[in-house]
Homo-oligomer: A and B are copies of this chain.
């Protein structure tokens, strides 16, 4: 255990899967790689593994840093580490970059064996169900029959939920944080704006921009700007930026007048500099499609009847992307099935992004929940 409670320097690994994967859409992925990281040690009983599922723009790099890159801190480093709520002295924690991703797992930037060129827009649609199926194969490879827990926030929470449905006997506990059992029309609407922004960028070239040596920077920037608005609460934006002026007075120009404009442009530019547009498109579609109640005439309780895990559900008061009401809907359906559910509705000013922050109350309840998991 380092003094900082960090898992320290980590490095990703790659697992190759030669067996074809039939996706929910019916398309078949002939072979694929998954990039993953692990923290802690798998115990002799192999019953202390925790899978951390990432959200829209996340990755397998959950905790720690890469050698020589002290700023390359994992996205949930405040949660995962020795002595942290998800304690790596107790648990063997795994982060996986999902299929269709842009951090090393097979995705649109990978070579399509049929053409010898990057998949680009021809990469098949991937769903939450497909991600979970691929993660299960990685679990097989690592010799993990049953996870102590599967954990995720936002789109990651949907994967945790799906694990309890696709593999009820392979998940003892599931934590579903700042998520929803399905997107609302408004959620889909924001995704659609993001997609149209990317697809209408002339540099998108129908999704085959790699071959043109360009990137649909403007579209991806706009998509991220819209996303950011939905990640932050109105309150948080008000507190952080309000109507703060860049120059202390109205300049009557098209450059930045208000600091919020500068923040959004910066976030958009930064994101467009490292994230892949096709991956972004695929991830928004995976979000849209997820709806476990779809095959049950919308009856969520019926859809969840096969789950066996013990659940932890958390929501945040100012999250308007996936409001507490959406978590309550999930909790209610789980309870209807006689499942054990701990539900924390947390006060927070930070909106949807709260799930990534180390709010003391939030981390305290998560810590207590992880402490209660026997290994």
Contact = CB atoms under 8 A, between A and B. Distances in A.
Given A25-B252, A125-B252, A258 B288 contact: yes
A360 to B, nearest CB: 26
Contact of A185 (B202, B242, B288, B291): B242
Chain A interface: which size bin? 35 or more
Given A185-B238, A252-B25, A260 B192 contact: yes
B184 A200 contact: no
A234 B199 CA distance: 25
B186 A238 contact: yes
Contact of A250 (B221, B242, B289): B289
A349 to B, nearest CB: 13
Interface string A277-289: 0000100000011
Interface stretch (A82-90, A146-154, A222-230, A335-343): A222-230
A258 B24 CA distance: 18
A29 interface: no
Contact of A254 (B27, B199, B229): B199
Contact of A196 (B189, B222, B252): B222
Interface in A206-243: 218, 221-222, 225-226, 228-229, 232, 234, 237-238, 240-243
A145 interface: no
A232 to B, nearest CB: 8
Contacts of A241: 185
A243 B197 contact: no
Contacts of A265: 192, 196
A195 to B, nearest CB: 8
A190 interface: yes
Per DSSP, chain A at the interface is helix
Interface in A90-129: 124-125
B184 A196 contact: no
Nearest to A218: B200
Nearest to A229: B189
Contacts of A228: 189
Contact of A186 (B25, B200, B229): B229
A139 interface: no
A261 B183 contact: no
Nearest to A262: B192
16 contacts: A182-B243, A184-B234, A184-B243, A188-B243, A192-B225, A192-B261, A192-B264, A192-B265, A193-B229, A196-B221, A196-B225, A196-B265, A196-B268, A199-B254, A222-B222, A257-B289
CB-based closest 7 A-B pairs: A25-B252, A185-B237, A200-B218, A125-B252, A185-B241, A185-B260, A186-B234
